[in-house]
Structure formats: C-alpha cells, structure tokens
Structure 1
Amino acid sequence: MFKEKLTSKLMPRDPKQRLRVERFLLAQISYIVCWSVIMCLYMWGMFRLNFAEMICFIATCAMANGIFYAVFLTGLNRKFAEPSLTIPQIVVATIFIMLTIYFTNSQRGILLIMYFIALIFGVFQLSRRQFLLLSLFALSSYAIVITALLQRHPDVIDIKVEVLQLLVLAVVLVWFSLVGGYISEMRSRLYRMHKNLQQAYQKIEELALHDELTGIYNRRAILGYLKEEIERASRYDIPLSVSLADIDHFKSINDTYGHLVGDKILRELAAHIKGCIRSTDRVGRYGGEEFLIILPHTPISRALSCMERCRSDIEGSLFEGLRITVSFGIAALRPEDDLDSLLSRADKALYEAKNRGRNRVCHE
C-alpha cells in the first residue's frame, strides 16, 4: 500500500506523462555515473575544483534536473511544442559535460564519450536536423572550452591533441546525427503506420457492425445484441421488450420519388428513431425499410408508450420534404422465448398494425 502511494506521488497517472518521466529517470542514472566519474577525478587529483566547489557543481546539476522533474510532475511540459523537453535536457547535459571537461586536467578527452550518453536519448524524439543542431552546439561548446583553457590554463592543454579531438568529435557527431535521425524517422514512420492500422481496424470493425446506408447497427450486429439481452434478461429475471418498425407504403415512395430520396428518408428516419429512444436502447436496420429496436429493462407498458411517442413524432415530421408514417409491432420477453420466438411475436404484432390501417403501435 505504501509503495503504491509513493509511486502515485512520484509518477504521473497519465500514460504519456508516465513514459516521459520514466525516460527522465533513466537519464538520471547516467548523471549518477557522471557524478561518480567526477568524484574519481577529484580523488585522483585530475579535477581542478576543491571539494566544496565540486559538491556545489554536482548539486547545481542535480537542482537543474530537479526543475525538469517538477515540470513533468506539474504537467507544465505539456504547454511546450515538444512535451518530452528532449532538446532542453540535452542542452543542459551538454553544458554540464563541457564544464566537467573544462575543470579536468589533460585527461579530459575521455570525458567526451559522456556526451553520446546524453545524445542517445534524442533517438526517442529528435529529427536529423535537430540532431545536427545539437551536435553543432556541442562542437561550439567544446571549441569555447579549448579557447578558455588556452587563455586560463595553457599548462594543462595540448592544442594539437585538442584540435584532433575536436575534429574526431565532429566526424562522429555528424555520423551519429545521421544514424540517430534515421532511427528517429523510422520510429516515427512505424508509429504513423501503427496509427493508420488502428484507424483501418476501427473502420473495418465499424463497417462490420454498422449499416453502411443509415449508420445504425446492421442486421447481424443488432441480432447479436438482442441475443445477449435475452440471455441477460432470462438470467436475472428483468423485463425486455423489442419492437419492429416498418415504413408504410415505402415502395410507392421509391417508385414515385426514386431510390435516392428513399435512401435519404431511411437515413433521416434511423437518426429520428435513435433520438426517440434512450442511450441504453439499441436500434438496427433489420431489413430493407424495417428497423429492430431493443428496449432493455422495459416492460410492455413502457415500450408501448415509448413507441407511440416515436410514432407520433415521425407522423408530425418531414423527411426530405415528405410526410411518412411508420407502423410498430412490440413484443415483451416471456420465460419460454428464445430469439426466434420473440422476433416472431414482434413481427406478428407489426403485421397486425399493418392490417389495422398502418401508422399505429400494436403489441403481441
């Protein structure tokens, strides 16, 4: 329990923020390694700061990283174009490494390797151009360090070695930027492909469940949901009603005004019925101009009231400038019912509504 509370305070709950903080904390391991190297340099007499100055130097670096951590925990990083703050973190790391190199005696060349530890974190986010700009910043920083050492501590510097190291660093950084940028671009491309595949899968799933014309559930999907509701209602002894709705004289509408108008009427009617029922109810296209409406937790009396209200609304509305009417047949689930028998009784009630003059609601 204590561990969970501690983790919730130290790590954000948002998955993206959590990933950013995890990467940040991974980078802190690299800093701990670098601080250990500085202490070794100090103990071996290779570092020009005294003990107090060295501790202040390390503490300043730790405070800078503490600011980054606070920014992540408060969510302020989300206000930036790049919420991971990769470039600012690498810039701070570069400054820290170059200052470490400046305070180190003639053995400073080996410390250049530490810069690549910082730069490698850019593979998660940076483009080739950003890699090159950071490399230019590092080379400029190292050139400033060499110049400062020549002016202030010429006794600890061999200019030929330093220039050679600068040239080698430039070559390696250019190569690293090109490869790092390529990896980053590959990662971005894979991410886009994955996102496109997810969207395509969602589209396929939607097409598999929804009627292409009306946008409501297709016959296969609505019957699947009805089967689930029948099982649930039977198991827990809760009421369930279904209704079959059929547009009156729809064939004459198609013959008179054309199938394009008929399709538009079907779309508008589907949306109208969906607006008449509750969010927990479901409606699907059962046949050509027939709709199946599932009303969970609904006894026959409430189902009659709901469908009558829907019928009245349809009668008083215009669909593509035309007035249409709809007949409804309702059946409530009985203990002996299965899917076929329930639908058969709803269809029988619909047939009765048609025989009694249409534009009415009947139940079986």
Structure 2
Amino acid sequence: MGRTAVIPGALPGSPTSADDARTLAVRGRRMRQRRHMLDLIATSFMIDAAILLVYVQAGTIPSIVAVAFAACGGVLGSILFILSESGFNDRFPDHYLTVPIALAHLVLIVAFTAWAPQIGGFFLFELFVVFGFAALRANRRQALISWTALLCTLAPLFLLTDLPIGLPHHTPLERLATLLALVLTVGRCMFIGVFSKAMRDSLYKRGTQLREAYQRIEELAELDELTGAYNRRSIMRHLDNEIERAARHCEPLSLALIDLDWFKRINDTFGHPTGDEVLRTFAITIFANIRSFDRFGRYGGEEFLLLLPNTTEDEARQILDRLRLIVAGLDWSAFSPSMMVTLSAGVTTMSLQESTESVLSRADRALYEAKHGGRNRIAYA
C-alpha cells in the first residue's frame, strides 16, 4: 500500500499515468470507507463489552466471558484492519467482504451463546445488528448466502441441544443489563436505518448531479460555444426532423440562410474579439425576436440558418424583413461609433418530397442574390 508501480514509457499526464491516478484515488476512497466501517464495528464491540461487564457485576457470568468477548472483538478488528490496509480487500468486487465479516460475527455469536447460554438472548440480539449492517452492502446472492449460513448455524443450537438460552432479569443489575442490551440493540438498528437513508439520499443526489451534468454535456455538444445558437451538426439534424415532420403533417416549412454583411471587414477593422461580440449580440437579438418553435443555428462563420416550421412563403418574408430591420436599427456604437451591422438572407419554402440538399441549395442561391443585389436585403427562391 502506498507504492505505485512505475510503468516503463509512461509520462506524467499520459493516459497510463491518468489511469494510475484514478486507480489510487478509488483505492484511497474505498480504504476510508472501510475504516469508517471498522470504526463502527469497534464501537459496537465496546458497547457489548460494557453490557457484559454489567452482567459480570451482577454475577450472571464469570469475568472471563466478558474478557474473552472483548479479546475476540479486538482480534477480529485487527485482522480486518490489516487486510484492509494491505489492500487485500481490493482484490474482490465486494471490497467490504460483507459475507466473510457477517459469517465471522455469526460464528463468534453462536460460540459465546453456547458458552454462556444464560445470557444467550443478549448475544442473539447482536445478530440483528450484524445482519442489519450486512444488508447495507449485500446483493441478493450475498444475502441468500448469509441467511442460509444463519439458518444452518442456529438450527443445531436450538434443535440439537437443550441449552437454557436465556435473558436474565432476576436482579436489578440483570434487569439493567438486559434493558441496556435491548435499548442499545434497537438504537444501533435505528442508526443503521438512518445511515441507510443517508446513503440513499447521497446516491440520489449524486445521480441527480450526474443527470444534470449529462444534460449539460448534451446541451454543450449541440450549441455553438460563441453564440449559444445550435452548431451546424445540431441545426442540420433539426432541419432533417422538421422536413420529415412537415411532410408527415402536410405543413409548410420555410428556412433562411442569413449572412452578416461585410463581416470580414468588421474583423479586419475592429479586431476578432469585437467580431466575436458582434456575432454574439446578433445571435441574442435573433433569439429575442423569433418564435419559441423556430430553430436558429450557426451554419458556419458568419452564416446562420433559421428554420421556420409551419410558416408560409409570405410569412417567412415578413419575419426575415422584420429581423433585418431590427438588426439594422440596433445601436452598435458600444463597439465603435462608426460601426453598422446589417444582414442579408436567402429565404425559401420547402416543396413536397424535396431533399435537404435541394432546399439548402435554393436558400443559398437566394442568399447569393441578396448579397449581390446590394446587401441588407432579403431574397426569395
């Protein structure tokens, strides 16, 4: 533990080094989790040892029983600690060793029940705590193995012996010890329930965070980083979907290829950072003035594609002319007192059974006409 294998040829920052770092991080987290589990086991043994001392004080059992139980707990805890710290547990899918630990406790409890049957009920109480903790980590197969082991271990004790397994309550000290045994067993079981709920809440929160992160990644994968509009891949996918939907429902579909006029000149004159801000401001303006079901994406450079579902030719012309006037009327003086930004657009309405390539080609021809017709205008094809 603590020594990292050196892989020949692995450089810092290489995939192999990154994998090693992740592996060490996972092992470290698992070790901290196991230490927490061992702390709980040690605390539980100390509680039981304290109750046994009350039974010793009451004269119910000899002191050797309490000493032996505490010693067995210490030995078991030490073995588990050594195995955990050495990395032995990490060799197994269940690094908690749920079944072996449960079986070790089961053997210990049954052995002490047979040795001191007069307080056998106290020892059997511990089974609720042991298997309650095991249930937090056990899968279906592990639970079945543990339950079968419990049955096979307790059946001979109850059916093949006549040991007087009891829970003493004849003297005040015995009643106190029995009360403590019952109350503290229930308390530990309640703690298991609270701990289980905390684990579920943590897993739910982590799952929610992962879903949100995944959704955010999907959104980022669909959006143009600079403008916040759909990127080319996403807007083309939306175009295919809208063409299919329009054909299925026999609805009109219009689209526009939009180009910012003289944008190269803006970049050359005012610099690329200013050009980026112009693109961003333009995109925000378009978003603020289109309908919720319209789709707007960056087609490439200073070209944008606007999809107008359920929109006729005349409606598309009106929408684009309104957007043209809005952009031309914006106050661009914040970037430069002499700056003016206008747009040209090629608008087209899809025909029945028309392909994506065909409708885009017509929109591109219309945009060419608008730009060569003087710019700051809308052309239709």
The TM-score range, normalised by the shorter chain, is: 0.5 to 0.7
**Taking structure 1 as the reference length, what is the TM-score of the superposition?**
0.55
2:208 aligned residue (195, 214, 226): 195
Q: Does residue 351 of structure 2 align to residue 334 of structure 1?
A: yes
Contact 2:247 2:353 in 1 (8 A): no
Contact 2:253 2:311 in 1 (8 A): yes
Aligned to 2:364: 347
- Superposed, 1:209-224 pairs within 5 Å as 209-224=222-237
Contiguous gaps of at least 5 residues in structure 2: 1-120, 137-168
- Superposed, 1:1-364 pairs within 5 Å as 159-173=172-186, 175-319=188-332, 320-321=334-335, 322-364=339-381
Contact 1:318 1:324 in 2 (8 A): no
One-letter amino acid matched to 2:288? G
Supply the distance in 1 between the matched residues of 2:248 and 2:207 (Cα, whole angstroms): 41
Contact 2:289 2:323 in 1 (8 A): yes
Supply the distance in 2 between the matched residues of 1:240 and 1:209 (Cα, whole angstroms): 22
Structure 1 residues 265, 157: CA separation in 2 closer, same or farther (over 3 Å shift)?
A: farther
Contiguous gaps of at least 5 residues in structure 1: 1-108, 125-155
Shift of 1:316: 0.4
Aligned residue pairs, count = 217
Aligned to 1:31: none
Supply the distance in 1 between the matched residues of 2:346 and 2:306 (Cα, whole angstroms): 10
Supply the distance in 2 between the matched residues of 1:303 and 1:297 (Cα, whole angstroms): 10
Shift of 1:332: 0.8
The Cα offsets for residues 275-305 of structure 1, whole Å up to 9 and x where unpaired, read as 2221111111111111101111111111001
Shift of 1:339: 0.3
Greater CA deviation, 246-255 or 339-348? 246-255
Supply the distance in 2 between the matched residues of 1:249 and 1:177 (Cα, whole angstroms): 72
The Cα offsets for residues 159-185 of structure 1, whole Å up to 9 and x where unpaired, read as 344312222134424533554444333
Aligned to 2:10: none
Contact 2:366 2:380 in 1 (8 A): yes
Shift of 1:216: 1.6
One-letter amino acid matched to 1:189? S
Supply the distance in 2 between the matched residues of 1:194 and 1:236 (Cα, whole angstroms): 39
Give 3-state SS (helix, strand or coil) of 1:201's partner.
helix
Give 3-state SS (helix, strand or coil) of 1:358's partner.
coil
Shift of 1:308: 0.3
Shift of 1:266: 1.1
Supply the distance in 1 between the matched residues of 2:375 and 2:359 (Cα, whole angstroms): 21
Give 3-state SS (helix, strand or coil) of 2:178's partner.
helix
One-letter amino acid matched to 2:248? R
**Taking structure 2 as the reference length, what is the TM-score of the superposition?**
0.52
Greater CA deviation, 340-349 or 222-231? 222-231
Shift of 1:311: 0.1
RMSD between superposed Cα atoms in Å = 2.8
The Cα offsets for residues 295-330 of structure 1, whole Å up to 9 and x where unpaired, read as 111111110011001000100002444420010110
Give 3-state SS (helix, strand or coil) of 1:285's partner.
strand
Give 3-state SS (helix, strand or coil) of 2:274's partner.
helix
Q: Percent identical across equivalent pairs?
A: 44
